[in-house]
Structure 1
């Protein structure tokens, strides 16, 4: 994944879970991948 980039995920209407429940509306989310320049413990 590229740093400083916004990514979007989407699950479309009609998808079923393991119990057979159907997703009634699209589920869309976004997230930003940032660059970590240093990490200290």
Structure 2
């Protein structure tokens, strides 16, 4: 996903980039990549 601000929000909040789904979303007549983030909370 080509949205640096959105990516930075996830990273600042403790999420890590787990992967990128290539051409996973169809928006505005074009396929876009989707970044997958995850966070594990210790209890």
**What TM-score range do you get, normalising by the shorter chain?**
0.3 to 0.5
Q: TM-score, normalised by structure 1?
A: 0.33
Q: TM-score, normalised by structure 2?
A: 0.32
- Structure number, greater radius of gyration: 1
Higher helix residue share: 2
Which structure has more relative contact order (CA 8 Å, sep 6+)? It is: 1
